[in-house]
Structure 1
Amino acid sequence: MSSRSLFDSGLQPERTELAWRRTALAIGIGSLLSLRVLPAAVGDPAWGAVWLAPGIVGLAFAVLLWFGARARHRRLTRALLADRPEDVPGSGLMLLLALFVMGCGVLSAAFVLWLT
């Protein structure tokens, strides 16, 4: 009977971490753009500062996602090398990203409705 390891010598965990980092980078760049565009699009100086909040929250989320991806990669690699499938990280990071994207959609719809 042969012992079968969970760890694959391929680079799947590294590719997954890079994909998470690209996602965090895209969110960060979009947040920086919103910091530049939203206050100018609103035009009213009294409300301009309020529309800085989505960009700041987005930047904070991008940083959280970046470090979360790194921590997930480390945990996954340790679990695979130790042949402990119970330690493989779950889908919490994906749920957090889905909630963030849904919140961005709601905020975008509110912005469009507010301008019209």
Structure 2
Amino acid sequence: MSQPSGPGLAEERTAFAWRRTAVSVAVGALLCLKVLPPVLGPPGWALAALGFVWSADLARIGRRRHVEARASTRAGASVPLGGGGYVLRTAVVTVAVGVTATVAAVVISVRAAGG
């Protein structure tokens, strides 16, 4: 089966990938909102709020990259390479969220075990 190709389709796939990531982070933030505040208190609320802020940032980045890519395609130029900062920032935040989630899971487990 061949994949359709043409001008603009790569940009559309990339935009959809950013949107899927933003929605996934928002769903994770909703789960944090349900689980963390009863166990952690105010830090649980803060973590959930940070998840929503991160989700909005990912959606904004995705939209910006999509607009930049479409503009460069129309002009006949190549896709701008200035997006490395977006990817680096997203990677750093992802690692920070992973570490924070691991710490939260350990704290919840210790509290649940009564220790």
- Same fold at TM > 0.5: yes
Alpha-carbon distance in 1 for matches of 2:13, 2:24: 16
Quote the residue 1:11 is aligned against. 9
Alignment of 1:1-116 (within 5 A): 8-40=6-38, 42=39, 47-85=40-78, 87-115=80-108, 116=110
Q: Write the distance in 2 (CA, Å) between the matches of 1:77 and 1:97.
A: 22
Deviation at 1:85, TM superposition (A): 3.3
Percentage of pairs with the same residue:
32
Gaps of 5+ in 1: 1-7
Q: CA RMSD in A?
A: 1.8
Partner of 2:113: none
Q: Is the 8 A contact 1:34 1:54 kept in 2?
A: yes
Cα distance between partner residues in 2 of 1:14 and 1:85: 15
- Residue 87 of structure 1 aligns to a residue whose secondary structure is coil
Q: Is the 8 A contact 2:8 2:73 kept in 1?
A: no
Query: What SS is found at the alignment partner of 2:44?
Result: helix
Structure having the higher Rg = 1
Deviation, 1:72, is: 0.7
- Tell me, yes or no, if the aligned pair for 2:7 and 2:73 is still in contact at 8 Å: no
Normalising by the residue count of structure 1, what TM-score does the alignment of the two structures yield?
Answer: 0.78
Q: Which has the higher contact order (CA 8 A, sep 6+)?
A: 1
Corresponding residue pairs, total:
104
TM-score by length of 2: 0.79
